[in-house]
Amino acid sequence: MARTILITGASGFAGGHLIEALPADVRIVGWDRSLGATQDPRVTWRCVDLLDPRAVGEALAEAAPDEIYHLAGAAHVGQSFGAAEMTLATNVRGTHYLLDAVRQQRLASRILVTGSAMVYRPSTEALDERSPIGTVNPYALSKLAQEQLALRAHDEDGLDTVVVRAFNHIGPRQHPSFFASSFARQIAEIEAGIKAPLMRVGNLEARRDLTDVRDTVRAYIALMAHGHSGAVYNVCTGVAGRVGDILDTLHALARVPIDIGTDPALLRPSDTPVVLGSHERLTRDTGWRPTIGLDTTLRDLLDAWRATVRAEHRQA
């Protein structure tokens, strides 16, 4: 019988790429508050609100999954300052209801909980899983609470949980509220004549460890297969690139002249200068390494936005 894989937040950025990366011989149940966009015949879609514990319990009993990739949640650091209550509710209560339902139903599901590298105390050095914790924004606080729920579920309830501290991941189909995708969308719209030839940008001096989302979901699959239960793993490249350099690379790919201007509205109240990780533990336990170079990721991201903008322009 085919394995049943449950993905929460399945129509999201990482969720869509995870579905594409999973083997052909699995049955996938995708949870989302919408019914998803993919027409992949392996996927059975369910509209599930993670903040409704009864709905979570009923949908979980129906799915009876062998594996759970918990990807759902509020994912934007900058937006969390103005939506702290919803960020905490979605990431913390939603995770609690899911884990509690697994416990109550005595399921043997292996559960991958996707946390964030933002839980670490800011540092200019490469962060490994033993680095000090120190949250500096509502999003990070919510992700720390989320991973603690997963680790407690393992230690006290015997659930088979693995925690991921994902660093920034980028690539095709990312929401334009994230900086690289915002840059790419603006370029595509300017090329199409929809926008004036001026890009609006925020802080360009921050440095971020950026992993192609397709490499990120490969890491999730590797950890589901080989990660140690109750362990925490960084998913990152081990290289931190300057945001301004990302902009320069995309700007150089533009097909028309474009000016660049700083927008104060895009500057965060708190912006960590450097986020850099070590994937040594992940590589040691699973053999995973990043395979997609940043230049390829950015080119694919821009091409994806060009296609999206063309399609939107034709519909309009």
Domain membership flag for residue 281:
no
Judge if 200 and 222 occupy the same domain.
Answer: no
Task: Report the C-alpha gap between 37 and 58 in whole angstroms.
Answer: 23
CATH number of the domain that residue 221 is part of: 3.40.50.720
Residues 141, 142, 143, 148, CA torsion sign: positive
Judge if 128 and 163 occupy the same domain.
Answer: yes
Judge if 198 and 228 occupy the same domain.
Answer: no
Task: Report the C-alpha gap between 29 and 25 in whole angstroms.
Answer: 13
165 touches 116 (CB < 8 A): yes
As given in the structure block, the two tokens for residue 35 are: 């019914």
Judge if 187 and 62 occupy the same domain.
Answer: no
Judge if 229 and 300 occupy the same domain.
Answer: no
Judge if 19 and 162 occupy the same domain.
Answer: yes
Q: How many domains does the chain have?
A: 2
Judge if 262 and 154 occupy the same domain.
Answer: no
Domain membership flag for residue 108:
yes
Domain hosting residue 217, numbered range = 4-170+210-235
pLDDT score of 132: 97
Judge if 162 and 246 occupy the same domain.
Answer: no
Judge if 48 and 147 occupy the same domain.
Answer: yes
228 touches 285 (CB < 8 A): yes
Judge if 225 and 259 occupy the same domain.
Answer: no
CATH number of the domain that residue 306 is part of: 3.90.25.10
Report pLDDT digits (tens) over 124-157.
899 999 999 998 888 899 999 999 999 999 999 9
pLDDT score of 123: 92
Domain membership flag for residue 285:
no
Judge if 296 and 217 occupy the same domain.
Answer: no
Domain membership flag for residue 146:
yes
**DSSP string computed for 1-28:** -PPEEEEETTTSHHHHHHHHHS-TT-EE
pLDDT score of 272: 75
Task: Report the C-alpha gap between 264 and 250 in whole angstroms.
Answer: 21
Helix, strand, or coil (residue 29) = strand
- Chosen domain end from 187, 218, 235: 235
Judge if 201 and 109 occupy the same domain.
Answer: no
Q: What letter does residue 195 receive in the DSSP assignment?
A: S
pLDDT score of 107: 97
The stretches in the chain having pLDDT less than 70 are 35-38, 75-83, 266-271, 316
Domain membership flag for residue 52:
yes
Stated pTM of the model: 0.93
Domain membership flag for residue 226:
yes
Domain membership flag for residue 152:
yes
Contacts of 189 (CB under 8 A, 6+ apart): 195, 309
Domain membership flag for residue 161:
yes
CA nearest to 94, candidates 118, 70, 123: 70
